[in-house]
Structure formats: structure tokens, C-alpha cells
Amino acid sequence: MAKPLIAGNWKMHGTAAEAVALSRQLVENEQSFCVQMAIFPPTLHLGLVASELSGSSIALGAQNMSEYRSGAFTGEVSADMLKEAGCGYILVGHSERRTLFGEVDSTVADKFKAAQNSGLVPILCVGETLQQRQQGLTLEVVAEQINVVKEKVGIESLCHGVIAYEPVWAIGSGEVASPEQAQLVHGAIRELLGSSGIDTSLLYGGSVKASNAVELFAQRDIDGGLVGGASLEADEFLKIAQLMT
């Protein structure tokens, strides 16, 4: 089994000073957890946070990148640039990118491929909307989101990435999937990956907090968490990481 991963997505929150303070608090209080912690600050703060993390075991990631390597793409950031800034991970296909910025599966697949070509580990985010769940389409939707990436990069490369199951209705809503609901989907993802995916990290995301993490992390196919709101408080994020240990 892969080392458990706890990833903190800061989204578009915080000043540079707040980003430095939060990363400093994490570094000062990190213990020898048997879990890999990774934080995903806003792009503009990556360099500052990278300096704070230097010498610590906390990894750095970015929230978004271009699918293109370089060129006339105003406002975009490439995987090579993120790598140079100290990133090891990149989120691809976060539901906010899909719903608010119109990212479609094929673009997500291109980003996944571009990330790996530059030596970043992509965290592929998948998940169904409330309406899709109510229509009984959860497993179908998640499988389709994963299959488009599989077709683009092949099963082995897909399995070298990380997959985060994040039901859209649970993100930022305070409504968390039950451990059974989450395990059902994680089990189906593991099955979809087949023998190549035995060690692939499968994260759960969606309103994870210290108070609900233990039961989620106890599930057989949940190898860690992608945490949004609760990652903005050092104590809460550290507590979640500790619960995974």
C-alpha cells in the first residue's frame, strides 16, 4: 500500500503573509507522521511557501496548470514552471475547475499527461453531482472521468498518479459522504484500475474534518484525504494528518 497522503487545497484564500504563517505553523508542528502531507497554496504564493517548506517533509503542490508546455497562452502556468517552483503534485480536474471554468474530461486528461511529462504527480479529482447521485449514476460518472484519462495515458501511467474521489455535493458543503458511500466508490475505482492499481493512492475529499476523518480513513480503499476548508487551520489539518497515522 502507498504511504497515506493528506493534501490541503487552500483554494483562492489568503495573503502572502498568511500563506507564510500557515506553512510555518505546519512545519513547526509536523511530527514523524507515517503520512505524506502536501499543501496546495494559491499559485502566486508557491515560491514563498516553497522556501518555508524547505528541509521539511511536507510536499508542495499547485491547484491548476496549463495542458500546454509553453507558448502564447496568456495567464497560464506550465507544469515545468510549477516543477521549477518546487511543486511535486498538481490537482487536475477539481470540480471547481470543471463546473466554474468549463474544464472537460479531455482537457483534464491532457493536463494529467502534461503533468507526468514534467515529473509532477497529478491528483485526478473525480466525483458526481447530487443530481447524478440521485439518478443512480455515481459509478458510471466516476468511471467515465477516469476512463478518459486512462485512454489518454494508459493504465500504468494512470496508476502512477493519485485519484481523489470528491462527490461534488460534499465539497465545501459541510455534508460528508458516509464511510460506506465513500468506500463503495473507492472499491469500484480500485476494481477499475485492476492489478496495476493495487498501490495507487485513492483519496477521499469533501468536507473532511478531524471529527469525521477516523471513520473515513478506516475504510479499506481510502488511502488519505484531499482537504479544502479544514486545511486552512494548521491545528485542524495537523490533527487530520495525525488521525491517518
Check binding of 166 to ligand PEP (CB under 6 A): yes
Grid cell at residue 131 = 443530481
Rounded Cα gap, residues 102 and 94, in angstroms? 11
Rounded Cα gap, residues 24 and 242, in angstroms? 18
Instruction: Report, as residue numbers or ranges, the catalytic residues.
Output: 94, 166
Rounded Cα gap, residues 161 and 150, in angstroms? 11
Check binding of 167 to ligand PEP (CB under 6 A): no
In terms of CB distance, is 88 or 154 closer to ligand PEP?
88
Q: Cα(first)–Cα(last) distance of the chain, in Å?
A: 14
Nearest one of 198, 202, 120, 112 to 158, comparing CA atoms:
112
Check binding of 229 to ligand PEP (CB under 6 A): yes
Check binding of 227 to ligand PEP (CB under 6 A): yes
In terms of CB distance, is 125 or 153 closer to ligand PEP?
125
Check binding of 183 to ligand PEP (CB under 6 A): no
Rounded Cα gap, residues 143 and 220, in angstroms? 19
Check binding of 208 to ligand PEP (CB under 6 A): yes
In terms of CB distance, is 145 or 207 closer to ligand PEP?
207
DSSP class of 92: E
Rounded Cα gap, residues 129 and 116, in angstroms? 28
Q: How far is the CB of 195 from ligand PEP (least distance, A)?
A: 29
In terms of CB distance, is 122 or 191 closer to ligand PEP?
122
Check binding of 206 to ligand PEP (CB under 6 A): yes
Interacting positions 2-41 with ligand PEP (CB under 6 A) = 9
Rounded Cα gap, residues 39 and 226, in angstroms? 10
| Residue in the shown chain whose Cβ atom is closest to ligand PEP | 228
Check binding of 110 to ligand PEP (CB under 6 A): no
Residues interacting with ligand PEP, by CB under 6 A? Answer: 9, 166, 171-172, 205-208, 226-230
